[in-house]
Amino acid sequence: MLKSTVPGVHRERRQRLSDSAPDACFIFFGAKEVVRSNSTHYPFRQDSDFLYLTGFDEPEAILVLVGGKSHLFVQERDESREIWDGERYGLDRARVVFGVDETHAVHEFYSCLDTLLTDATSVRTTLGWDADRDRSLLKALHGASRFRGKGRFGHLPVHSPLPELSELRSVKDEVELGLIRKACKATVKAHSDVLRKVRSGMTEFDAFIEFQYSLLRHGCGELGYGPIFASGFNATTLHYTRNNELLKEGDLFLIDAAGEVEGYTADLTQTFPVSRQFQPAQSRVYEQVLGVNREITAMIKPGVSYRELHSKSVELLTESLLSLGVLEGDPKELVLTGAYRKYYPHGVGHYLGLDVHDAGIYHERGRDFLLKPGMVLTNEPGLYFREPGPYFGIGIRIEDDILVTGMGSEVLTAGLPRTVAEIENVRSGGVWS
């Protein structure tokens, strides 16, 4: 069982979702085990929506919310399987521990569906992830609605539950914030250990090993996403994943990696010199990116939209590129023509939580969604130079995780050396508490 599973919290989340469409039947499928190679599997990771609504972390489960009741379909106890795969909750314990109204054996799901749908006027489920599952479900729904008599609704409409669920998930409750804080804290520790220990002659992979070791020591057993340990020119590849090159004096080292605690992840990037000091061109770019990171942090508060934050980062980084002598011309014109995109090709951030690119709506039919207290998002401006010139091969991103509070914001990843002077001090053996 996940340590922080609190049945009351999950029940409340399910209730709020049901309230958004009281006559609907919500169906959520948990994740399956995925084969890695011959009779071995990838480590199991529960589906994020499923985890949010249940806290249940066994494979092959299904959740149904209908008529004010919750039904959890789980694998039955089976000693011959449990010898290999570990203990299962089974029906009776799962009902008590996860606070659902009823549990059923998962193989009975399709035969129960007709009964569950008796009074539902629509189905809310996510199609499009798994074609086999979609086929089975649609076949069962077809069978169910076919037998409807007069006065019923005929074939049931199927809608996505994601608009309502995304909105719920985007505002974090106290349990979620506790887990995100833990993930952020361990991640900051691991980044600061790597910042102290990395030397030229090590490889990107050696740094990754240090990072993972430190994460584990600080209570974080998993990485929240594919880590990026990119030195030198590799840092200009946004999703560099080889992570195996030799670290060389004079290069920068961009590390985008973070730990996950009970499904909740941090997302942090630092960039520092492999040598003790930045080279002049590197520190010029670094200070520009850090300046933008800080201005964006200062803007984050309830009522601001993601679009405003991103536009501001574009405006500021365009000014940076002008002051670095990379671009020439009128700043407004350069923003309009997108001249910055070659050097700043990504967005300024994203929601963060159970998924590194978390559920949450940015804008819909031209309408911007505004930040609310309890939302968590990343702030990650960057500049990347892939073409010959004075900044060739420099890739810098500075990323923090920010909680929107009632009054403004709180940087959850605070505590790392971030200025040029602070970083050079630590790289030269200085103490950082």
Residue ranges that bind Mn ion, judged by CB under 5 A = 267, 378
**Residue 367 beta carbon to Mn ion: minimum distance, rounded to whole angstroms:** 24
Instruction: Please check whether residue 296 is in contact with residue 313, taking contact to mean a CB–CB distance below 8 angstroms.
Output: yes
Candidates 322, 333, 314, 248; CA nearest to 284 is 322
Let me know: does 380 contact 352? Beta carbons within 8 Å: no
Q: Considering the complex, what minimum distance in angstroms separates the CB of residue 195 from Mn ion?
A: 19
Report the residue number, 137 or 402, with the smaller CB distance to Mn ion: 402
Tokens representing 37 are: 């190679």
Nearer to Mn ion, 340 or 351 (CB): 351
Nearer to Mn ion, 226 or 325 (CB): 226
Q: Give the shortest CB-129-to-Mn ion separation in angstroms.
A: 23
As a whole number of angstroms, the distance between CA 396 and CA 385 comes to 9
CB of 357: closest distance to Mn ion in angstroms? 8
CB within 8 Å of 25: residues ≥ 6 apart:
64, 65, 66, 116, 117, 120, 122, 123, 124
Reduced to 3 states, what is the DSSP secondary structure of residue 71? Answer: strand
User: Shortest approach of Mn ion to residue 380 CB, angstroms?
Assistant: 5
| Shortest spacing between CB 258 and Mn ion, in angstroms | 9
Please answer whether residues 68 and 23 qualify as being in contact, where contact means their C-beta atoms are separated by less than 8 angstroms.
no
Q: Pick the closest to residue 258 from 416, 147, 150 (CA basis).
A: 416
Q: Are 261 and 354 in contact (CB under 8 A)?
A: no
> 18 vs 378, which CB is nearer to Mn ion?
378
For Mn ion, which is the closer residue by CB, 276 or 346? 346
Record the tokens describing residue 39, joined without a space: 């009779």
**Looking at beta carbons only, is 238 or 246 nearer to Mn ion?**
238
Rounded Cα–Cα distance for residues 359 and 309 (Å): 18
| Least Cβ distance, residue 293 to Mn ion (angstroms) | 12
Nearer to Mn ion by C-beta: 277 or 297? 297
Cβ burial, residue 378 (10 Å; 0-12/13-18/19+): buried
